[in-house]
A = this chain, B = another copy of it.
Amino acid sequence: MEYISSAKNEHIKAAKKLTVKKYQKQAGAYLLEGWHLVEEAINAGITPKRIYATNKYLAERLLKPLYEITTEISDDVAKHLAETETPQGIFAILPLEEEKLDAPLAGQYLLLDQIQDPGNVGTLVRTADAAGIKTVVFGGGTADAHNPKVLRAMQGSQFHVKIVATPLPTLVKKLQQAGIPVYGSELNANAKPYRDVAPSDQFALIVGNEGNGMAKELLNVTDANLYIPIKGRAESLNVAIAGAVIMFHLTA
């Protein structure tokens, strides 16, 4: 097995670039960090293009059949590749595959409208997974699904739910044509308390930008806008929290 001890190695430099969207697109690949996530990827049937692992991981049963594509790295190299402060020392380069929506449209959807914070985006995907929602759509202005912070916050849920990037206005029309009700989540004069809508096997929930909320053009076409009644004096909820409360209600 090859061994790389220098962060200046060309392969390592190339791997590090695969944390950045521009280079991910060019190479059709992205870098994933951490044992748990790499394990989830392999268990999901994804074949990594390459694995970089410190000595600590080489004895793992799951890695043994992948020795041909595995390179051992030093702790220093692991530290260089890592986005976390205490790197675990295992990384995989995975193919960047664009997923498409299943046809015909059916079931439960979470739609992200300009959600900018990577932690919020990742947490929303993880929560959708836990709530049993099978598809999460990344609309324009939403943090990229392969951003390292998004990957970390998703905690592997990207391997359980379908993640699709597509403009929301067109999708919302198609969902409605397919008879799937589309709910916004914003407080306005016409909004109703989220508990007034019954749980259902079919819906699409849109959550909007942290500061500005949902795009007006979406808000105007939803079947209903839901809000969470605030009992105390907080002015609002974090978007991932609000999304979670509504998702767990609609999927109950």
Contacts and interface: CB of A to CB of B under 8 A. Distances in A.
Contacts of A70: none
Given A127-B241, A238-B126, A232 B161 contact: yes
B129 A234 contact: yes
Contacts of A134: 232
Interface residues of A, number: 35
B231 A132 contact: yes
Given A233-B160, A241-B244, A252-B195, A228 B119 contact: no
A251 interface: yes
A230 interface: yes
A204 B4 CA distance: 53
A142 interface: no
A130 B187 CA distance: 14
One complex includes copies of this chain to the number of 2
Name the prevailing secondary structure of the A interface residues: loop
Nearest to A240: B241
A128 to B, nearest CB: 8
A225 interface: no
Contact of A119 (B119, B230, B232): B119
A24 interface: no
A123 interface: yes
A233 B129 contact: yes
Given A130-B228, A130-B230, A244-B241, A235 B123 contact: no
A131 interface: yes
A248 interface: yes
Top 9 A-B pairs ranked by shortest CB distance? Answer: A132-B231, A130-B234, A129-B234, A160-B233, A129-B232, A241-B244, A132-B232, A245-B248, A130-B230
Given A130-B236, A195-B252, A241-B241, 16 more contacts: A126-B237, A127-B234, A129-B232, A129-B234, A130-B232, A130-B234, A155-B234, A155-B235, A156-B234, A160-B233, A160-B234, A228-B248, A231-B251, A238-B240, A240-B241, A245-B245
Interface of A: 119, 123, 126-134, 153, 155-157, 160-161, 195, 228, 230-238, 240-241, 244-245, 248, 251-252
